[in-house]
Amino acid sequence: MGRGVEAAAGPAAGGGATFGRSSAWPRILRAVAAGAAAGVLAAGVGARQAPAPLPEVALSALPAEAQQTKKLILAGGPFPYAKDGTVFFNRERLLPPHTRGFYREYTVATPGARNRGARRIVCGGDVPTAPQACYYTADHYASFARIVDGR
């Protein structure tokens, strides 16, 4: 057994591929892998899909505490909670994809809650006091609605 041991589809069978140093298998495997990758990309399999369009909510339809939080965001504070204005990482991937640091989160006070509660406004943009878009969640990031009617 040495160089040139023929495969079942080798030269004797008219296939031309052999095992050993002159083997065509590395070329064949690379071609198959490239073709499979191209097929996966063309089909979109494994590709991250954009989130579904989010519902919209008028700022005036939100709780008074959310309206107050929105005013504080546009004014640059002061915010009642230390976590307000920190980066929101969009781990749930429910908001449109952007680079890290694009989104910031703000607490919407919940009357009677002893902690920050579940309500938040998440805004995105380069300038925190002039956000490109803001989103409201009443269920701690399980769902969002885009805030419309002013910024």
- Residue-wise pLDDT tens digits, 33-44: 455 444 444 445
Task: Quote the pLDDT of residue 52.
Answer: 72
Catalytic status, residue 105: yes
Residue 57 has pLDDT above 80, yes or no: yes
Catalytic status, residue 98: no
Of 127, 113, 120, 142, the C-alpha closest to 70 is 120
Residues 69-79 have pLDDT tens digits of 999 999 999 99
Residue 62 has pLDDT above 60, yes or no: yes
Residue 17 has pLDDT above 90, yes or no: no
Within 10 angstroms of residue 5's Cβ, the number of other Cβ atoms is 11
Task: Quote the pLDDT of residue 27.
Answer: 54
